[in-house]
Structure formats: C-alpha cells, structure tokens
Amino acid sequence: MATLTISCLKVGGKWRMPVSCVCYAVHILKRFVAVVAMACLSSSRLCARVQDKLLCQFGHKVRKQTVFVKLKPPGPSPLRIFGKTCQRVTTCGPACGSGGFSAGVSSGLVRRLASSLQSTSTGSLPDYGTQIVDPYRLLEDDLNGIYEDIRSELERNTNQSELNTIATYYFDGQGKALRPMVAILMARAVNYHVYGENSALLPSQRQVAMISEMIHSASLIHDDVIDQSDFRRGKPSVNVLWNHKKVAMAGDFILAVASMMIARLRSDDVTLVLSQVVTDLVQGEFMQLGSKETENERFAHYLTKTYRKTASLIANSVKAVALLSGADESTCELAFQYGRNLGLSFQLVDDLLDFVSSAQAMGKPTAADLKLGLATAPVLFACEKYPELNPMIMRRFQEPGDVEKAYELVHKSRGLEQTRFLARKHGAEAARLAAELADSPYQKGLVVTTDLVLNRIK
C-alpha cells in the first residue's frame, strides 16, 4: 500500500513540487539513513555507491587497472583494489556480504578471477576480433539455421498468412542472437563440465536457445506498440507497418508457440524456470511505468527493473539448459548467476550506448530512453553531481528542453564512466563464475562473451 501512495503522489501532477522539495530538504539526511538502514535496502545500490566512492578516490588509476587487469598476471595490484572494495563494503554492514552482485568478492575468488582472465588471454589480446575463442564461430554449426527453425516453428503453428508475416518479421537473421548464443554456449560448457569431452548439445537445449530468442522477440513486439518506436534493427518496426491490434496478437502468438515448445520439452522444472521469465518481463514493464522518489530507492528500482526486463531472460534460459543437462543444483545456480550478471552488464552497456552511440550504429534512435522518460544508470549517476536532474527525472523529461539538458549534464558528469564501471563489475563477476566450470573451449567462450558484451559498439 505504501508503494501505491508513492506512485499516486508521483502520478498526480500537483504533488510534484512539494515532493521534490521535501526530497531535496532531506537529501543529506537520506544519505545517512542509507548507510544505517542498508540492511533493508537492496545491497546493489550500496555497492554502486561504494564503487562510486572508490572511483572518487582512485580516479583514473582504478579504471585503467580494471581495463587492463586481464593482461596482467595474477598479482597484487588488482587484488588490492578489489580487496579494498570488499573491506569497505563489509564495514558497512552484513547485508552486502550475502546479497548483491559482486560485493562479496573475496580475495581468494579474485585470485581465481585474475587467473581465469589470464587463461583466456592465450590469443592476441586485447583485440577480440582475432581471438581464438570467438563464441559465434565456435558455435557456428549450432547457431546455423536457428532463425530458420524458429520461423518454420511459427509457420507450422498458424494458417493465417498475415499472422505468419508479422510474427516472423524480427526473425530475419539480422539480430545479434546473443541470447541463443549464450544459451548454447552455457549448454555445451555445462555438458562438458558434467560429462567431459565427449558430451554433445542436446536437442532440447537448442530448443531452449530458440525459445529464449522467441520470448525476447515477443517482448520487443509489444514494446514497439507501447513505445511507438519507428526503427528497430535497422528496419521499420512492426508498429509502423501493421495494425496495432494485430501486432499485439502476433506477440501473444509468439509467446504461445514458445510456451508450447517449452511444454514439449516435458520438464516441469524447465517450464517453471521459463515461466518466471515471462512474469519478470511484465513486472519489469510495470516498474518502468513509475520511478521511485528518493535517490536510494531509485537506483535499487532501476537495478531490479533491469534484472527483470533483461537479465532474467538470459539468467533463466541458461539455468534451463543447465537443468536439462542434468547438472547438480550448485552448477545450475552458477549458470543462473552467470546469466544474471551478464544480463545486467549487457543492459548497463545498452543504457550507456544510448548516450554515446550514433543512431546509425544502433539501428534505432539514440537518447531514446530519455525521450521515453526513462532515467537509466548514466542519468542516475549524473544526478549525484547535478541535483537539478532530480526534478527532470520526476517529470520524466517531459518539459521542452529536458531531454537536451539531461543529455548534456550526463556527458558533463562522470555518469557514463560510472555506468561502464558497474557494467565491468558485473562482467567480471560473470567471468569469475564461468571460470569455475571445467576448462573447455565453451567455458572460455563464456568468459570471452562477457568482454564481447562490454566492448560492443551496438
């Protein structure tokens, strides 16, 4: 009920000013409260804050070290940084050690992280284009024809040609196919981990890879209707071309076919895991309808939303392939956490690119999030230095000039660097988890993928 009241205040235009005034007045107090009452908040926010503090102290030095950490042999210097992070976090309270993302990186784990990162650097680092382990090339055979298979599955399920046209529109092979790639990579890595060298990809695991892309596309199709976007993947988006009612139905259709495919795997656990994805996606969308009042809540809200909208799909689909492989519980959990961190890192980079990339490279307009009224990580970070962003966030950048002003302030602040840093943290955590699997080309591929996600330009 409390959340209800808050969103009510937020929605009603009249309340904006008083609320933001109060907000501002208790701003400093809140910072103390944040430290004290941290146990009941999401620890993620805290960690972000800790990193932020770290950034302030170490400045460029830290960032450089993080960038090049993979080039160095496991040594004391990166360890010290993480060690300090750890120390700072643990002095804050017990909540951080257990929950949160990479907060609880112990020095032992860090050593493993460092060595794992090194173990991947057998090729000509840091240029991953020429790297030996290119996950897409590694999985060429598995990924080959995956879009065709999805299209024919959809086609088999309808006798209405227009429905078929709309439903297959985004399965033209132009996407990155990141989700299927990660799912298959994890499937093979876990199979190798459990059964050794002679393991193969199960047909059911490839199905999960297809399903993950289908759920993703179904959500894109509905997003297009909601956001009225004009372009996606470099071509007109579905809502420009067809009747919106039909487009909405096509989204439902893809989901229905995907869930029939899930059911045909005949595994209760996999169905449960994948149904969670759909619930998360919708809840994420609902969270996007409103933002929270205080800065602290806002960041936790943002991270939870990001998990639900993006990371949950990746996390749960890699968990599903691990389940299908018959891996034990801890391996499934490891897969899940890998996917979760990779997904968060992916979305953070996405939010970053929205500010720095050109429209041409992205295949969709930039600063799109601001135009939609969404405050993503760069804005939330920037808001610490430029509190004047607060009222703009509250009114969802709706007044003339808001978008431009916010865009400028984000670039003037260190919001982009901080976002990248957070993305790196999640990427590093994913890489650390991947390194715990048995050594195989696929396991290396998982580690490389974390870098692909971080270093992508679109």
Task: Name the residues that contact other proteins, by CB under 8 A.
Answer: 3-4, 7-8, 11, 156-160, 162-163, 222, 225-226, 228, 239-246, 248-250, 252-253, 255-257, 259-260, 262-268, 271-272, 274-276, 278-279, 281-283, 285-286, 289-290
Say how far apart CA 287 and CA 359 lie, in whole Å: 26
Beta bridge partners of 236: 231
What are the C-alpha distances in Å from 24 to residues 28, 111, 301, 332? 8, 43, 19, 44
CA atoms within 13 A on the CB side of 76: 0
Q: What does the radius of gyration of the chain's CA atoms come to, in whole angstroms?
A: 22
Q: How far is the CB of 152 from other proteins (least distance, A)?
A: 14
Q: How far is the CB of 280 from other proteins (least distance, A)?
A: 8
Residue 135 or 251 having the CB closest to other proteins: 251
Residue 90 or 259 having the CB closest to other proteins: 259
Residue 27 or 244 having the CB closest to other proteins: 244
Residue 190 or 270 having the CB closest to other proteins: 270
Amino acid at 371: K
Q: How far is the CB of 98 from other proteins (least distance, A)?
A: 25
Say how far apart CA 170 and CA 176 lie, in whole Å: 11
Residue 197 or 268 having the CB closest to other proteins: 268
Burial 285-301 (b: 16+ CB within 10 A, else e): bebbeebbbbbbbbbbb
Q: How far is the CB of 9 from other proteins (least distance, A)?
A: 11
Residue 77 or 228 having the CB closest to other proteins: 228
Q: How far is the CB of 151 from other proteins (least distance, A)?
A: 15
The beta-carbon contacts of 157-162 under 8 Å, at least 24 apart in sequence, are: 157/253, 157/256, 157/257, 157/260, 158/253, 162/242, 162/246
What's the full length of the chain, in residues? Answer: 458
Omega before 126 cis (within 30°)? yes
Q: How far is the CB of 18 from other proteins (least distance, A)?
A: 19
How far is C-alpha 54 from the chain's CA centre? 23
Residue 244 or 385 having the CB closest to other proteins: 244
Cβ–Cβ contacts within 10 Å for residue 154, how many? 22
Say how far apart CA 44 and CA 422 lie, in whole Å: 10
Q: How far is the CB of 112 from other proteins (least distance, A)?
A: 36
Say how far apart CA 337 and CA 109 lie, in whole Å: 15
Contacts of residue 423, defined as CB under 8 A and 6 or more positions apart, other chains included, come to 344, 345, 348, 349, 352, 454
Decide: 208 and 270 in contact? Cβ < 8 Å. Answer: yes
Residue 20 or 276 having the CB closest to other proteins: 276
φ, ψ of residue 283 to 5 degrees: the values are -65, -35
Q: How far is the CB of 143 from other proteins (least distance, A)?
A: 26
- Identify the three-state secondary structure at position 176: coil
Q: How far is the CB of 277 from other proteins (least distance, A)?
A: 9
Q: How far is the CB of 311 from other proteins (least distance, A)?
A: 17
- The tokens describing 362, both together, are 């992205």
Residue 51 or 312 having the CB closest to other proteins: 312
Say how far apart CA 114 and CA 130 lie, in whole Å: 22
Q: How far is the CB of 161 from other proteins (least distance, A)?
A: 8
Residue 164 or 418 having the CB closest to other proteins: 164
Q: How far is the CB of 141 from other proteins (least distance, A)?
A: 29
Residue 257 or 406 having the CB closest to other proteins: 257
Residue 399 or 408 having the CB closest to other proteins: 399
Say how far apart CA 57 and CA 66 lie, in whole Å: 15
Say how far apart CA 313 and CA 217 lie, in whole Å: 12
